[in-house]
Amino acid sequence: MEIFIDTAIVSEIKEAQSWGVVDGCTTNPKLIAMANVDFEQTMKDILQEVHGPVSIEVTTNDFEPMVKEAEHYNKWGSNVVIKIPMSIDGLKAVKVLTEKGIKTNVTAVMSMKQAVLAAKAGATYVSLFWGRIEDMGYDAEQITRDTVAIYNTHGIKSKIILGSFRQNSQVMRALRTGAHVLTLTFPLIKEMAWNPRTETTINEFLQFWEEYKKTHVVNPIPDDADDDPRLKELMKLLAEYKRRDAR
């Protein structure tokens, strides 16, 4: 299971990467517009920041312009993956780009049959949109399970990405499906790390430790430990829990 971050905000990527949980990044024109950033420079910054695959989406639905855009974006880095819309022209573009050795991610896939066609065309990744599938009244979990089963049965090498999540209850269901990748917004990834029972448990342990120190001598940590990044990260987490407890 891989986790990609779904964002065009570099600061979110840097923070999530510092937790050691991000394997790649997905973007789209809407995310770029919402972030109100320079498209080319931001994508190049993300490609430098993320060591795994970074999906950059074309901004047209027409075959020849798709291929032209894809070839241009592909020059920006070795970890570029071109997002192509699920359509007849999109399938044509995927076939051509695959033959050229350019990695693709077929996006806005809403059904198992579309996922099969995308894989047949040669897509590196196939993105099922969980939330939008359920908006139509369909069972996204079952569609994903069926797609995973067909891919496994026939030895299809395309990787399934699940995206378009609105809440972590959807993420928990998605984790059980066997999909290769979940692409999540920064707030959803951050929320995954938090549980109220975890918070109260850690605070309980710290309270006992404070009581313990009143009756026992505890040797201070040597100064050279200040340079240990693991300790710094632990202190950041403890400070965050204390701030939450204060609220």
Q: Where are the domains of the chain?
A: 2-191, 196-246
What per-residue string of b and e applies to 34-49 under the rule 16 or more CB within 10 Å gives b? ebebeeeebbebbbee
Nearest to 35 by CA among 190, 191, 189, 186: 186
- Contact residues for 186 (Cβ-Cβ < 8 A; gap 6+): 5, 7, 9, 12, 15, 16
Q: What is the pLDDT of residue 234?
A: 76
pTM, two decimal places: 0.88
Side-chain half-sphere exposure of 222, counting CA atoms within 13 A: 3
End-to-end Cα distance, the chain: 35
CA gap 103, 141 in Å, rounded: 26
* Amino acid 233: pLDDT: 76
User: Tokens representing 57?
Assistant: 């989406």
Query: What pLDDT is attached to residue 219?
Result: 87
Q: How far apart are CA 158 and CA 152, in angstroms?
A: 10
58 in Cβ contact with 66 (< 8 Å): yes
pLDDT at 92: 98
pLDDT score for 235: 76
Tell me if residue 53 falls in helix, strand or coil. Answer: coil
Spell out a b/e string for 123-137, using b for 16 or more CB atoms within 10 Å of the CB, else e.
Answer: bbbbbbbbebbbeee
Contact 1/162 with Cβ under 8 angstroms?
Answer: no
Alpha-carbon gap, residue 81 to 102, rounded angstroms: 7
Mean pLDDT of each 10-residue bin along the chain, 247 residues long: 98 97 98 98 98 98 98 98 98 98 98 98 98 98 98 98 97 98 98 96 96 92 69 75 65
Residues in the chain: 247
For the segment(s) 2-191, the CATH number from 3.30.930.10, 2.170.190.11, 1.10.3720.10, 3.20.20.70 is: 3.20.20.70
Q: Which of 30, 167, 44 lies closest to 85 in space, CA to CA?
A: 30
Which residues have CB under 8 Å from 144's CB, separation 6+? Answer: 128, 130, 160, 162, 174, 177, 178, 179
Q: Are 12 and 183 in contact (CB under 8 A)?
A: no
In this structure, are residues 127 and 146 in contact, taking their beta carbons and an 8 Å threshold?
Answer: no
Active site (catalytic) residues: 83
pLDDT, residue 74, reads 98
The whole-number pLDDT of residue 226 equals 58
